[in-house]
Structure 1
Amino acid sequence: MRLLACGDRALLAEFATQAGVLGALAAWQDAPPGVLELVPAARTVLVRVDPGVLGLGHLEHWLTTTPRAEAALPVGAEVTIPVRYDGEDLATVAQAWACSPDEVVDRHSASEWVCAFVGFAPGFPYLVPADGAAALPPVARRSTSRTTVPTGAVALAAEYCGIYPRSSPGGWQLIGTTDAVLWDAARADPALVTPGTRVRFARVVP
Protein backbone atom coordinates (compact mmCIF):
# COMPACT_ATOMS: atom_id res chain seq x y z
CA MET A 1 0.00 0.00 0.00
CA ARG A 2 1.19 3.49 -0.86
CA LEU A 3 -0.29 6.60 0.76
CA LEU A 4 -0.50 9.97 -0.97
CA ALA A 5 -1.66 13.21 0.65
CA CYS A 6 -4.61 14.99 -0.98
CA GLY A 7 -4.41 18.40 0.63
CA ASP A 8 -4.84 18.47 4.41
CA ARG A 9 -8.16 16.61 4.47
CA ALA A 10 -7.54 13.25 2.80
CA LEU A 11 -5.09 10.45 2.07
CA LEU A 12 -5.24 8.31 -1.05
CA ALA A 13 -4.30 4.67 -0.45
CA GLU A 14 -3.04 2.86 -3.56
CA PHE A 15 -3.14 -0.93 -3.95
CA ALA A 16 -1.85 -3.38 -6.52
CA THR A 17 -5.13 -5.30 -6.83
CA GLN A 18 -8.88 -4.94 -6.48
CA ALA A 19 -8.70 -7.53 -3.69
CA GLY A 20 -6.40 -5.19 -1.80
CA VAL A 21 -9.01 -2.43 -2.03
CA LEU A 22 -11.76 -4.74 -0.77
CA GLY A 23 -9.59 -5.97 2.08
CA ALA A 24 -8.86 -2.38 3.11
CA LEU A 25 -12.54 -1.45 3.03
CA ALA A 26 -13.33 -4.42 5.25
CA ALA A 27 -10.55 -3.51 7.70
CA TRP A 28 -11.35 0.20 7.80
CA GLN A 29 -15.11 0.02 8.32
CA ASP A 30 -14.67 0.55 12.06
CA ALA A 31 -13.07 3.95 11.56
CA PRO A 32 -11.96 6.31 14.35
CA PRO A 33 -13.70 9.65 14.99
CA GLY A 34 -12.78 12.19 12.36
CA VAL A 35 -12.93 9.85 9.36
CA LEU A 36 -15.71 11.25 7.19
CA GLU A 37 -15.74 9.00 4.14
CA LEU A 38 -14.08 6.06 2.40
CA VAL A 39 -14.24 6.37 -1.40
CA PRO A 40 -13.07 3.19 -3.16
CA ALA A 41 -12.08 2.79 -6.80
CA ALA A 42 -10.44 0.01 -8.82
CA ARG A 43 -7.03 0.30 -7.13
CA THR A 44 -7.42 3.12 -4.60
CA VAL A 45 -9.33 4.22 -1.51
CA LEU A 46 -9.66 7.93 -0.73
CA VAL A 47 -10.00 8.50 3.02
CA ARG A 48 -11.46 11.91 3.90
CA VAL A 49 -11.15 13.34 7.39
CA ASP A 50 -12.11 16.33 9.49
CA PRO A 51 -8.64 17.76 10.20
CA GLY A 52 -9.93 19.39 13.37
CA VAL A 53 -10.62 15.93 14.78
CA LEU A 54 -8.06 13.68 13.09
CA GLY A 55 -4.83 14.90 11.53
CA LEU A 56 -3.22 13.20 8.55
CA GLY A 57 -0.34 11.92 10.68
CA HIS A 58 -2.71 10.07 13.00
CA LEU A 59 -4.74 8.90 10.01
CA GLU A 60 -1.61 7.48 8.36
CA HIS A 61 -0.72 5.64 11.56
CA TRP A 62 -4.20 4.11 11.77
CA LEU A 63 -4.23 3.07 8.11
CA THR A 64 -0.80 1.48 8.22
CA THR A 65 -1.20 -0.35 11.53
CA THR A 66 -4.72 -1.74 11.06
CA PRO A 67 -4.42 -5.39 9.95
CA ARG A 68 -5.78 -6.09 6.46
CA ALA A 69 -6.56 -9.33 4.66
CA GLU A 70 -7.11 -9.47 0.89
CA ALA A 71 -9.57 -12.34 1.34
CA ALA A 72 -11.82 -10.15 3.51
CA LEU A 73 -14.87 -8.36 2.13
CA PRO A 74 -16.69 -5.29 3.47
CA VAL A 75 -20.03 -5.94 5.15
CA GLY A 76 -22.98 -4.35 3.38
CA ALA A 77 -26.67 -4.67 2.59
CA GLU A 78 -28.05 -7.47 0.43
CA VAL A 79 -29.94 -6.74 -2.79
CA THR A 80 -31.60 -9.06 -5.30
CA ILE A 81 -31.76 -7.78 -8.88
CA PRO A 82 -34.31 -9.40 -11.24
CA VAL A 83 -32.81 -9.92 -14.71
CA ARG A 84 -34.14 -10.88 -18.11
CA TYR A 85 -31.17 -12.58 -19.76
CA ASP A 86 -31.86 -11.13 -23.19
CA GLY A 87 -28.59 -9.29 -23.82
CA GLU A 88 -27.26 -8.88 -27.35
CA ASP A 89 -23.81 -10.15 -26.34
CA LEU A 90 -24.86 -13.30 -24.49
CA ALA A 91 -23.54 -15.51 -27.30
CA THR A 92 -20.23 -13.59 -27.34
CA VAL A 93 -19.76 -14.18 -23.61
CA ALA A 94 -20.66 -17.86 -24.06
CA GLN A 95 -17.98 -18.18 -26.72
CA ALA A 96 -15.42 -16.49 -24.46
CA TRP A 97 -16.30 -18.84 -21.61
CA ALA A 98 -16.42 -21.90 -23.90
CA CYS A 99 -19.94 -22.77 -22.81
CA SER A 100 -23.55 -22.34 -23.91
CA PRO A 101 -25.59 -19.14 -23.37
CA ASP A 102 -27.73 -21.04 -20.85
CA GLU A 103 -24.59 -21.91 -18.89
CA VAL A 104 -23.59 -18.23 -18.87
CA VAL A 105 -26.97 -17.43 -17.33
CA ASP A 106 -26.63 -20.24 -14.79
CA ARG A 107 -23.12 -19.22 -13.74
CA HIS A 108 -23.92 -15.52 -13.57
CA SER A 109 -27.13 -15.95 -11.56
CA ALA A 110 -25.59 -18.56 -9.24
CA SER A 111 -22.79 -16.22 -8.19
CA GLU A 112 -22.94 -13.85 -5.26
CA TRP A 113 -21.48 -10.46 -6.15
CA VAL A 114 -20.14 -7.62 -4.05
CA CYS A 115 -19.98 -3.97 -5.09
CA ALA A 116 -16.32 -2.94 -5.17
CA PHE A 117 -16.99 0.68 -6.09
CA VAL A 118 -19.38 2.98 -7.94
CA GLY A 119 -18.42 5.14 -10.90
CA PHE A 120 -18.82 6.08 -14.58
CA ALA A 121 -22.36 7.36 -13.93
CA PRO A 122 -24.31 7.99 -10.70
CA GLY A 123 -25.35 4.61 -9.31
CA PHE A 124 -23.29 2.48 -11.75
CA PRO A 125 -21.93 -0.39 -9.60
CA TYR A 126 -18.75 -2.29 -10.36
CA LEU A 127 -19.47 -5.78 -9.03
CA VAL A 128 -16.96 -8.59 -8.48
CA PRO A 129 -17.65 -12.20 -7.47
CA ALA A 130 -17.79 -12.44 -3.69
CA ASP A 131 -15.97 -15.78 -3.75
CA GLY A 132 -12.94 -14.48 -5.61
CA ALA A 133 -11.94 -13.09 -8.98
CA ALA A 134 -11.30 -16.60 -10.34
CA ALA A 135 -14.97 -17.57 -9.91
CA LEU A 136 -15.83 -16.37 -13.44
CA PRO A 137 -13.46 -15.75 -16.36
CA PRO A 138 -12.83 -12.13 -17.33
CA VAL A 139 -14.63 -10.80 -20.40
CA ALA A 140 -13.07 -8.44 -22.93
CA ARG A 141 -14.83 -5.18 -23.72
CA ARG A 142 -16.35 -4.78 -27.16
CA SER A 143 -13.88 -3.60 -29.79
CA THR A 144 -16.31 -0.79 -30.66
CA SER A 145 -18.49 0.87 -28.05
CA ARG A 146 -22.20 1.28 -28.61
CA THR A 147 -23.44 4.85 -28.89
CA THR A 148 -26.44 3.92 -26.73
CA VAL A 149 -26.84 1.26 -24.04
CA PRO A 150 -30.35 1.04 -22.56
CA THR A 151 -31.22 1.85 -18.97
CA GLY A 152 -31.04 -1.26 -16.81
CA ALA A 153 -28.61 -3.15 -19.03
CA VAL A 154 -26.64 -5.81 -17.14
CA ALA A 155 -23.18 -6.16 -18.62
CA LEU A 156 -19.74 -7.71 -18.19
CA ALA A 157 -16.25 -6.32 -18.84
CA ALA A 158 -12.89 -7.51 -17.51
CA GLU A 159 -13.53 -8.95 -14.03
CA TYR A 160 -16.58 -6.75 -13.42
CA CYS A 161 -20.33 -6.96 -13.78
CA GLY A 162 -22.11 -3.62 -14.09
CA ILE A 163 -25.64 -2.29 -14.39
CA TYR A 164 -26.33 0.84 -16.42
CA PRO A 165 -28.49 3.17 -14.29
CA ARG A 166 -29.44 5.25 -17.34
CA SER A 167 -29.07 5.16 -21.09
CA SER A 168 -25.54 6.06 -22.15
CA PRO A 169 -22.73 5.04 -24.50
CA GLY A 170 -20.85 1.93 -23.41
CA GLY A 171 -18.50 -0.83 -24.49
CA TRP A 172 -19.39 -3.61 -22.07
CA GLN A 173 -20.82 -6.96 -23.15
CA LEU A 174 -24.61 -6.92 -22.61
CA ILE A 175 -26.10 -10.09 -21.12
CA GLY A 176 -29.47 -8.91 -19.79
CA THR A 177 -31.76 -6.14 -18.58
CA THR A 178 -33.43 -5.25 -15.29
CA ASP A 179 -36.26 -2.96 -14.23
CA ALA A 180 -34.54 -2.24 -10.90
CA VAL A 181 -33.94 1.49 -10.39
CA LEU A 182 -30.24 1.86 -9.67
CA TRP A 183 -30.30 5.62 -9.06
CA ASP A 184 -33.15 7.80 -7.82
CA ALA A 185 -32.23 11.24 -6.48
CA ALA A 186 -35.59 11.42 -4.68
CA ARG A 187 -34.75 8.43 -2.45
CA ALA A 188 -33.14 8.91 0.95
CA ASP A 189 -30.30 6.75 -0.38
CA PRO A 190 -30.24 7.52 -4.12
CA ALA A 191 -28.00 4.57 -5.06
CA LEU A 192 -29.55 1.11 -4.80
CA VAL A 193 -26.10 -0.49 -4.70
CA THR A 194 -23.14 1.03 -2.85
CA PRO A 195 -19.63 -0.26 -2.03
CA GLY A 196 -19.93 -3.39 0.09
CA THR A 197 -23.48 -4.25 -1.03
CA ARG A 198 -23.97 -7.96 -1.74
CA VAL A 199 -25.89 -8.56 -4.97
CA ARG A 200 -27.63 -11.61 -6.34
CA PHE A 201 -29.26 -11.80 -9.76
CA ALA A 202 -32.62 -13.57 -10.08
CA ARG A 203 -33.53 -14.83 -13.53
CA VAL A 204 -36.85 -13.54 -14.87
CA VAL A 205 -38.44 -15.91 -17.38
CA PRO A 206 -40.38 -14.03 -20.09
Structure 2
Amino acid sequence: MTKLAYECHPLGDSAIVIRIGADISLTNLHKVRQVVNYLENNWQDGFIELVAAYTTITIYYDAFRIYNYSSDVVLKSGRPNGTADWLPYDEVLQSIEQLLDAYRQEDNEGLAVQLGAIREIPVCYEAAFGPDLVDVADYHQVSTEAIVSWHTSRVYPVYMIGFAPGFPYLGGMDERLVTPRKSVPRTQIPAGSVGIGGAQTGIYPFETPGGWQLIGRTPLRMFRPDIVPPSFLKVGDQVRFVAITSEQFHALEKGNASHEL
Protein backbone atom coordinates (compact mmCIF):
# COMPACT_ATOMS: atom_id res chain seq x y z
CA MET A 1 0.00 0.00 0.00
CA THR A 2 1.14 3.56 -0.76
CA LYS A 3 2.30 5.69 2.13
CA LEU A 4 1.63 9.40 2.05
CA ALA A 5 4.62 11.60 1.17
CA TYR A 6 4.60 14.73 3.30
CA GLU A 7 6.75 17.36 4.99
CA CYS A 8 6.02 19.41 8.11
CA HIS A 9 7.28 22.75 9.36
CA PRO A 10 6.18 25.21 12.04
CA LEU A 11 4.16 28.35 11.34
CA GLY A 12 4.72 30.65 14.28
CA ASP A 13 4.36 29.19 17.77
CA SER A 14 0.88 27.68 17.44
CA ALA A 15 0.53 26.16 13.97
CA ILE A 16 2.06 23.41 11.87
CA VAL A 17 2.06 23.21 8.06
CA ILE A 18 1.79 19.84 6.32
CA ARG A 19 2.94 19.89 2.69
CA ILE A 20 1.68 17.01 0.55
CA GLY A 21 2.27 18.26 -2.99
CA ALA A 22 4.34 20.57 -5.16
CA ASP A 23 2.02 21.92 -7.84
CA ILE A 24 -1.49 23.34 -8.23
CA SER A 25 -3.60 20.56 -9.72
CA LEU A 26 -6.88 18.72 -9.29
CA THR A 27 -4.90 15.67 -8.20
CA ASN A 28 -3.38 17.56 -5.29
CA LEU A 29 -6.70 19.26 -4.52
CA HIS A 30 -8.29 15.82 -4.11
CA LYS A 31 -5.37 14.61 -2.01
CA VAL A 32 -5.55 17.65 0.28
CA ARG A 33 -9.28 17.14 0.80
CA GLN A 34 -8.80 13.44 1.53
CA VAL A 35 -6.15 14.16 4.16
CA VAL A 36 -8.31 16.91 5.69
CA ASN A 37 -11.16 14.40 6.07
CA TYR A 38 -8.76 11.86 7.56
CA LEU A 39 -7.44 14.36 10.10
CA GLU A 40 -10.93 15.55 10.99
CA ASN A 41 -11.90 11.92 11.65
CA ASN A 42 -8.83 11.56 13.88
CA TRP A 43 -9.09 14.88 15.71
CA GLN A 44 -6.56 15.41 18.48
CA ASP A 45 -7.11 17.22 21.75
CA GLY A 46 -5.69 20.72 21.43
CA PHE A 47 -6.28 21.08 17.68
CA ILE A 48 -8.26 24.23 16.91
CA GLU A 49 -8.66 24.44 13.14
CA LEU A 50 -7.54 22.93 9.83
CA VAL A 51 -6.93 25.26 6.88
CA ALA A 52 -6.55 23.72 3.43
CA ALA A 53 -4.59 25.38 0.63
CA TYR A 54 -3.26 24.34 -2.79
CA THR A 55 -0.77 21.73 -1.56
CA THR A 56 -0.76 22.22 2.20
CA ILE A 57 -2.85 21.81 5.31
CA THR A 58 -2.22 24.09 8.28
CA ILE A 59 -3.25 22.93 11.73
CA TYR A 60 -3.72 25.60 14.37
CA TYR A 61 -3.45 24.34 17.92
CA ASP A 62 -3.65 25.44 21.55
CA ALA A 63 -0.08 25.11 22.79
CA PHE A 64 -1.11 25.11 26.44
CA ARG A 65 -3.52 22.19 26.00
CA ILE A 66 -1.22 19.84 24.11
CA TYR A 67 2.02 20.38 26.04
CA ASN A 68 3.08 17.31 28.01
CA TYR A 69 5.95 14.84 28.46
CA SER A 70 3.82 11.71 28.35
CA SER A 71 5.56 9.91 25.49
CA ASP A 72 8.97 8.40 24.89
CA VAL A 73 8.62 8.59 21.10
CA VAL A 74 11.57 10.01 19.18
CA LEU A 75 10.75 12.39 16.34
CA LYS A 76 12.07 11.90 12.82
CA SER A 77 14.40 14.81 13.54
CA GLY A 78 16.06 12.63 16.17
CA ARG A 79 15.04 14.80 19.10
CA PRO A 80 13.70 12.63 21.97
CA ASN A 81 10.72 13.63 24.06
CA GLY A 82 11.29 14.78 27.63
CA THR A 83 14.31 16.95 26.93
CA ALA A 84 14.55 20.52 28.17
CA ASP A 85 14.05 21.97 24.69
CA TRP A 86 10.92 19.90 23.95
CA LEU A 87 8.27 22.31 22.65
CA PRO A 88 4.50 22.18 22.12
CA TYR A 89 5.26 22.06 18.39
CA ASP A 90 7.22 18.85 18.94
CA GLU A 91 4.20 17.32 20.67
CA VAL A 92 1.94 18.23 17.75
CA LEU A 93 4.52 17.05 15.22
CA GLN A 94 4.71 13.73 17.01
CA SER A 95 0.93 13.30 16.78
CA ILE A 96 0.89 14.32 13.10
CA GLU A 97 3.71 11.94 12.20
CA GLN A 98 1.91 9.06 13.90
CA LEU A 99 -1.35 9.88 12.12
CA LEU A 100 0.11 10.43 8.66
CA ASP A 101 2.49 7.48 8.81
CA ALA A 102 -0.60 5.33 9.42
CA TYR A 103 -2.45 6.96 6.50
CA ARG A 104 -2.80 4.83 3.39
CA GLN A 105 -3.98 6.49 0.20
CA GLU A 106 -5.83 3.39 -0.97
CA ASP A 107 -7.87 3.31 2.24
CA ASN A 108 -8.93 6.95 1.78
CA GLU A 109 -9.61 7.17 -1.95
CA GLY A 110 -13.32 7.44 -1.33
CA LEU A 111 -12.99 10.46 0.91
CA ALA A 112 -13.86 13.83 -0.62
CA VAL A 113 -12.82 12.86 -4.15
CA GLN A 114 -15.88 14.39 -5.74
CA LEU A 115 -15.95 18.14 -6.17
CA GLY A 116 -18.84 20.06 -4.67
CA ALA A 117 -21.95 21.30 -6.41
CA ILE A 118 -21.64 24.03 -9.03
CA ARG A 119 -22.45 27.45 -7.58
CA GLU A 120 -23.57 29.99 -10.17
CA ILE A 121 -22.34 33.51 -9.44
CA PRO A 122 -23.90 36.43 -11.36
CA VAL A 123 -21.39 38.99 -12.60
CA CYS A 124 -21.88 42.32 -14.34
CA TYR A 125 -19.04 42.87 -16.80
CA GLU A 126 -20.04 46.40 -17.82
CA ALA A 127 -17.45 49.20 -17.69
CA ALA A 128 -18.60 50.61 -14.34
CA PHE A 129 -18.11 47.19 -12.71
CA GLY A 130 -15.05 45.96 -14.59
CA PRO A 131 -12.60 48.87 -14.82
CA ASP A 132 -9.79 46.68 -16.20
CA LEU A 133 -11.83 44.72 -18.74
CA VAL A 134 -10.74 46.90 -21.66
CA ASP A 135 -7.09 46.69 -20.59
CA VAL A 136 -7.30 42.90 -20.35
CA ALA A 137 -8.90 42.74 -23.81
CA ASP A 138 -6.20 45.02 -25.24
CA TYR A 139 -3.46 42.92 -23.60
CA HIS A 140 -4.77 39.83 -25.42
CA GLN A 141 -5.71 41.78 -28.57
CA VAL A 142 -9.31 40.58 -28.53
CA SER A 143 -12.69 42.15 -27.87
CA THR A 144 -14.17 42.60 -24.39
CA GLU A 145 -16.95 40.26 -25.51
CA ALA A 146 -14.36 37.53 -26.06
CA ILE A 147 -12.96 38.04 -22.55
CA VAL A 148 -16.42 37.74 -21.02
CA SER A 149 -17.22 34.70 -23.16
CA TRP A 150 -14.02 32.92 -22.12
CA HIS A 151 -14.49 33.83 -18.46
CA THR A 152 -18.07 32.53 -18.31
CA SER A 153 -17.40 29.36 -20.31
CA ARG A 154 -15.54 27.44 -17.60
CA VAL A 155 -16.43 25.73 -14.32
CA TYR A 156 -13.83 26.67 -11.72
CA PRO A 157 -12.83 24.50 -8.73
CA VAL A 158 -12.17 26.38 -5.49
CA TYR A 159 -8.59 25.54 -4.55
CA MET A 160 -8.36 27.61 -1.40
CA ILE A 161 -9.91 30.42 0.62
CA GLY A 162 -7.36 33.02 1.63
CA PHE A 163 -5.84 36.50 1.38
CA ALA A 164 -9.03 37.82 2.99
CA PRO A 165 -11.92 35.95 4.68
CA GLY A 166 -14.08 34.40 1.98
CA PHE A 167 -11.72 35.18 -0.93
CA PRO A 168 -11.82 32.15 -3.27
CA TYR A 169 -8.82 31.22 -5.40
CA LEU A 170 -10.30 29.56 -8.48
CA GLY A 171 -8.40 27.30 -10.85
CA GLY A 172 -9.12 25.98 -14.31
CA MET A 173 -9.22 29.36 -16.06
CA ASP A 174 -8.95 29.48 -19.84
CA GLU A 175 -5.25 29.94 -20.69
CA ARG A 176 -6.18 32.70 -23.12
CA LEU A 177 -7.17 34.83 -20.08
CA VAL A 178 -3.85 34.60 -18.24
CA THR A 179 -2.96 38.23 -17.43
CA PRO A 180 -0.29 39.75 -15.18
CA ARG A 181 -1.37 41.53 -12.02
CA LYS A 182 -1.38 45.32 -12.03
CA SER A 183 2.05 46.91 -11.58
CA VAL A 184 0.55 49.28 -9.00
CA PRO A 185 -2.15 47.72 -6.77
CA ARG A 186 -5.31 49.61 -5.94
CA THR A 187 -5.77 50.76 -2.37
CA GLN A 188 -9.54 50.16 -2.52
CA ILE A 189 -11.42 47.51 -4.45
CA PRO A 190 -15.23 47.31 -4.18
CA ALA A 191 -16.74 44.26 -2.52
CA GLY A 192 -17.75 41.59 -5.02
CA SER A 193 -15.15 42.58 -7.62
CA VAL A 194 -14.13 39.70 -9.88
CA GLY A 195 -10.50 39.75 -10.91
CA ILE A 196 -7.78 37.95 -12.83
CA GLY A 197 -4.33 37.49 -11.31
CA GLY A 198 -1.96 35.51 -13.48
CA ALA A 199 -3.56 32.14 -14.25
CA GLN A 200 -6.25 32.46 -11.58
CA THR A 201 -9.50 34.25 -11.08
CA GLY A 202 -11.15 35.21 -7.81
CA ILE A 203 -13.68 37.39 -6.02
CA TYR A 204 -12.95 40.13 -3.48
CA PRO A 205 -15.39 39.49 -0.60
CA PHE A 206 -15.29 43.03 0.79
CA GLU A 207 -13.53 46.33 0.17
CA THR A 208 -9.80 45.76 0.34
CA PRO A 209 -6.56 46.69 -1.45
CA GLY A 210 -5.50 44.40 -4.27
CA GLY A 211 -3.58 44.08 -7.50
CA TRP A 212 -5.71 41.81 -9.67
CA GLN A 213 -7.22 42.95 -12.97
CA LEU A 214 -10.90 43.73 -12.30
CA ILE A 215 -13.19 42.57 -15.09
CA GLY A 216 -16.58 42.54 -13.35
CA ARG A 217 -18.49 42.52 -10.08
CA THR A 218 -21.07 40.31 -8.38
CA PRO A 219 -23.87 41.53 -6.09
CA LEU A 220 -23.49 38.32 -4.10
CA ARG A 221 -22.04 38.78 -0.63
CA MET A 222 -19.19 36.33 -0.45
CA PHE A 223 -18.58 36.61 3.28
CA ARG A 224 -21.15 37.11 6.05
CA PRO A 225 -19.67 36.94 9.57
CA ASP A 226 -23.18 37.08 11.04
CA ILE A 227 -24.32 33.75 9.58
CA VAL A 228 -23.07 30.13 9.52
CA PRO A 229 -21.11 29.29 7.46
CA PRO A 230 -19.78 32.83 6.94
CA SER A 231 -18.09 32.06 3.61
CA PHE A 232 -20.28 31.48 0.57
CA LEU A 233 -17.71 29.11 -0.92
CA LYS A 234 -15.45 26.43 0.50
CA VAL A 235 -12.51 24.42 -0.81
CA GLY A 236 -13.74 21.83 -3.29
CA ASP A 237 -16.78 23.80 -4.46
CA GLN A 238 -17.18 24.67 -8.13
CA VAL A 239 -18.06 28.05 -9.60
CA ARG A 240 -19.67 29.11 -12.85
CA PHE A 241 -19.89 32.83 -13.65
CA VAL A 242 -23.10 34.07 -15.29
CA ALA A 243 -23.13 37.45 -17.07
CA ILE A 244 -25.86 39.90 -16.01
CA THR A 245 -26.77 43.50 -16.85
CA SER A 246 -26.34 46.48 -14.54
CA GLU A 247 -30.12 46.55 -14.06
CA GLN A 248 -30.08 42.93 -12.92
CA PHE A 249 -27.10 43.67 -10.69
CA HIS A 250 -28.89 46.46 -8.82
CA ALA A 251 -32.09 44.43 -8.53
CA LEU A 252 -30.21 41.47 -7.08
CA GLU A 253 -28.18 43.74 -4.81
CA LYS A 254 -31.34 45.17 -3.26
CA GLY A 255 -32.81 41.73 -2.61
CA ASN A 256 -29.61 40.14 -1.36
CA ALA A 257 -30.19 39.70 2.39
CA SER A 258 -28.02 36.58 2.72
CA HIS A 259 -25.60 34.49 0.67
CA GLU A 260 -28.39 33.27 -1.55
CA LEU A 261 -29.83 35.41 -4.31
Could you tell me the TM-score, scaled by structure 2's length? Answer: 0.65
Task: Write the distance in 1 (CA, Å) between the matches of 2:176 and 2:114.
Answer: 20
Choose 119-128 or 37-46, whichever is displaced more. 37-46
User: Which has the larger share of strand?
Assistant: 1
Identity %: 29
**Cα RMSD, aligned residues only:** 3.1
Displacement of 1:134 after TM fit?
6.0
**Cα gap change, 1:88/1:167 in structure 2, threshold over 3 Å: closer, same or farther?**
same
> Pairwise mapping of residues 14-163 of structure 1 onto structure 2 (< 5 A)?
14-19=20-25, 21-28=28-35, 30-31=37-38, 33-35=41-43, 38-46=50-58, 55-63=95-103, 65-66=104-105, 75-86=115-126, 87-129=130-172, 135-163=175-203
Of 4, 8, 16, which residue of structure 2 is paired with 1:4? 8
Q: Secondary structure at the match of 1:18?
A: coil
For CA contacts below 8 A with separation 6 or more, give which structure has more relative contact order.
1
Displacement of 1:15 after TM fit?
2.6
- How many residues were matched structurally? 199
Displacement of 1:168 after TM fit?
1.1
Identify unmatched segments of 5+ residues in structure 2: 67-90, 247-261
Identify unmatched segments of 5+ residues in structure 1: none
Displacement of 1:137 after TM fit?
4.1
Higher Rg of the two aligned structures: 2
Task: Write the distance in 2 (CA, Å) between the matches of 1:112 and 1:92.
Answer: 24
State whether residues 36 and 57 of structure 2, in contact with CA within 8 Å, keep that contact through their aligned partners in structure 1: no
Q: Secondary structure at the match of 1:31?
A: helix
Task: Write the distance in 1 (CA, Å) between the matches of 2:141 and 2:168.
Answer: 26
State whether residues 14 and 60 of structure 2, in contact with CA within 8 Å, keep that contact through their aligned partners in structure 1: no
State whether residues 115 and 237 of structure 2, in contact with CA within 8 Å, keep that contact through their aligned partners in structure 1: yes
Choose 105-114 or 90-99, whichever is displaced more. 90-99
**One-letter identity of the residue aligned with 1:3:** E
Could you tell me the TM-score, scaled by structure 1's length? Answer: 0.81
**One-letter identity of the residue aligned with 1:25:** V
